[in-house]
Structure 1
């Protein structure tokens, strides 16, 4: 994905095969920091969904919003398959360089 891809659709998990949360942001580092400090979603705080397990980058917010909506409508099994395709161990990807 090019450097101009500024929008991220992400999936957080509480652990391996744990509770999932899907979100969108234009600053993934700040959003993760907010979630982990309790300033993000109440759902994330309540269920301790802090592990970044999947990311997709988009150049436009409209593309990212469409993908977020699509993923939120998927069956859980499909989401698990998507995560395990790129991240079979459900490792925390928050150490990756996201550009912004």
Structure 2
């Protein structure tokens, strides 16, 4: 019997180009982005209108995703922008 495959996403959302960046981990990226867009969860992202997905990475193990999230959060802003622009120049 095969175990179900879990996926965890480290993602970055913003409110506009060169705007505020928000980095988080989720086990359901589609649902989480919907929540951001619809302003369903109180907090930082709702307050600042952070609802545009600009970057994500998928991981099979939650600990890997959490470690990556923590590392990216410690980076300088320009490093984060460089990471985003590798795959998403707009």
* TM-score with structure 1 setting the length: 0.80
Tell me if 1:29 matches 2:39. no
Work out the number of aligned pairs and report it. Answer: 86
Q: Mapping of 1:49-88 within 5 angstroms?
A: 49-88=50-89
Q: Work out whether residues 8 and 55 of structure 1, in 8 Å CA contact, stay in contact via their aligned partners in 2.
A: yes
Contact 2:36 2:45 in 1 (8 A): yes
1:11-50 equivalence runs, <5 A: 11-40=12-41, 42-50=43-51
CA distance in 1, matches of 2:58, 2:86: 16
Moved over 4 A (4+): none
Larger-gyration structure (1/2): 2
- Tell me, yes or no, if the aligned pair for 2:6 and 2:27 is still in contact at 8 Å: no
Tell me the secondary structure at the aligned position of residue 52 of structure 1: strand
Q: CA RMSD in A?
A: 1.3
Q: Give how far 1:6 is off.
A: 0.5
In structure 2, relative to structure 1, the CA distance for the partners of 1:54 and 1:37 (3 Å cut) is same
- Contiguous gaps of at least 5 residues in structure 2: none
Shift of residue 41 of structure 1? 5.3
Q: Which runs of 5+ in 1 are unaligned?
A: 90-100
